[in-house]
Structure 1
């Protein structure tokens, strides 16, 4: 029981996949390439869209992910357009993630079932890419009206049993004839040139002519060489037939690369050509060598003469160079002092400018009459305010006086009323 369970577990781990399943993508890619040829993609895609042609394994193996992804997007867009779906031609500036998402969405709208993400298509190769392109190519073929014709079954030939037994000698085996002629030629002397030989033995093996009549076959006697030599064809008809066939005939003689005699002859020809060319080349090279040697000798002599004549000038030049170096060093030292002095001058100039600005601001403040005018205006405003306050005070005093007079009158009236109404106790 335990052993059976272990065997069952091992069996489930073994994948039930054909060893050639990994090569199925190459078969699908070859089918895609054939479909593209039927869609005339060489003219409408490669030429008009200015794209690189793809090979039969372009999307089956990964070579350059960027180029393959761009080719996949462009080819898918072209197949969408061929299939009647509106899809703009992509450019290099477009976002490839958006384009892949659009391709998957349009592919699903066409009714195809695909469970693949844009990340798997980003590699630009593999089974998902080939699958999508194959389905799009099928849709494009349907839209263009292309249909696969059903295979045509050839007419069946009569069986050997019905036609009777045939002798193997009745058939002409061209390979066998060539082999016999080649073997016969090898038997000859190897130094003799090859000649055209008519193999009469092969001609004697011409079979019986079979004419099928219904299910039976009649045979004629064997054709003998002596009967072949006697022709019953009209000479005029023969000439007309030759004139008709002659333009279509093309005789070519192919050199045998394995023939040592041809190679030997070719080697001797090359040797002669090299020897004749080498003589001219040697003469030219010798002349060039002589001219160059003379020129080098003249240059060396002239150089020695110039050095001897210009030795004093060279020494004077070196002395002037030393003086120039000393002058440059002194100049750098002076330049360093000038730089420091220039920085100090810049600081003093900035300080002087600041003091001048302060003096100008102080002078403007002294001569400016604006504050005095503002003081006068303020005094006038204060005077107007004082007048308004005095008027208000007068009004308030008048109001207060009236209220006091009214109160006094009321008090007097009350006192008079009290005296009049006072009771008499006498």
Structure 2
């Protein structure tokens, strides 16, 4: 059976390019596989026990929900393997799909079936490859169950003679009406024809012949009653007329309405008794429920008052808590503001304290004073140098003036 399935599958794969009907071969295989599953009673042993719904005839042939179809495919394959006598655990939704597919293909190779497609084709949970795997497993399960296909039993066909006799025996109302209409038309045509002299002569001759053939005495039958009944039974099927009901006829609708009315009246009489009993039982139960409700209310009235008082106290406590929590929030907000201001004051005090205790400004002042002293000494030195130069310049100018005066005096003396 496995070789035949592989050969058929190979023919189907080759037939994809041979004709347009090969695209629908997958649906045919799916229907065959569903029939095999029904032979294995999968609806009772698989669907009800494991909580699955029965699959439609084209469930694994049409992609709808890949995750759901893959889980159903692996679960059905595991069940078929267990039916075939293999130890195979029920797959879970969180299992690794690659490991599950590899174990299924390993079991398929163990049965002797070839696998000429990649394992990724089975991840979708539908398609030709999934149907092929399930079909192979269902065949192995049928082998394990010792199921054998029986020879088909064909119904016996009736002979042509009987059919012909039945057709002749049963007359159709339409045929009878047509024949009557033809006879009426012929009568009208005969009346429309103008009677001639020859026709009148023929009619007189026929009347004379009829008068001559009239019996002079009353005829008496010599036929036996038993023979007459046999003849009637023989002729009766030929006199049978079948009348086909027309749904458009108003008479048929009236008859149906009368029938339905009678059926409703009879069923109403039967059901009215049960409805009255049901009404009485319901009214009694309602009265019991009402009385018990009153009794419970009377018993629990004191507790209800206490419960309502406790509810009022709870509402008052919630209101006080809300008011207190509002004051607390306001105080926490002011506290946060005060803490911020205190932090700022502390920072300012720390800055001032560090500035007062820090000796860097004094050091800077000393360095500035030293620099000023150095500059002053340098200026004094420069002033002394300038004064010395000026004194020398003055002395030189005095000496030059003396020389010039002497020279002027000498000049004057020489002139004299």
TM-score band by shorter chain is 0.3 to 0.5
1 or 2, which has the higher helix percentage? 2
Per the normalisation by structure 2, the TM-score is: 0.41
